[in-house]
Structure 1
């Protein structure tokens, strides 16, 4: 990426769609417009506040629209804009990639963590399987 004002602006926008939740929200809204609680149910682990912040940011950037219907009780739906729809291919591809590689990533993380623990144990002067727990750490 260029180190120009335009490059900096692109980074700002990439930060928006590259955060923890935005691509998942965009991907779900690409299926059809959805209400807030419907999105919340479909996104495991997102808090109400974080979903609100994510939707507001996407709305501010013109990627999502928020439509309030004049009914009682109030009904609000979120949908991708035409510009947001252009992100659908990218977001859907990334979400599918993540879902199809969950087990591989879990295995890689476990292997990394085991190596890191072994290296740490070696630094402390004992092999992991022969390491003696200090009295304060015994249970």
Structure 2
């Protein structure tokens, strides 16, 4: 799991992206956020868990929102084991970092000149990504 931003502030006030990637299926999810408050992230995670089920483990960097008491309590309550990347060792979370770069390139190709519509285009880009078979699994994340 990763946070990207601050980005160009959109018409809807989004300035960040929460990126969650299932390492087993490589199913990615990216959602626009107005802020990086722990309660905002927890709410988005609960929405994801309601759709796809609980994670057994979550790997994040040392970002403040991921280290908050709320996030720790949420993970304890849901029996989710938390793993943290080492500072200056971003390659530990390489799959998410590569996905972030891919998504960044895709957004640049379709976003308007002022860059204020990336949040409205995000669901369409995610659909396109989720339909493509992954080399490592030979299946699309949707499968």
Normalising by structure 2, report the TM-score. 0.28
Q: Which has the bigger relative contact order, CA under 8 A and spacing at least 6?
A: 2
> Whose strand proportion is higher, 1 or 2?
2
Q: Which has the larger radius of gyration?
A: 1
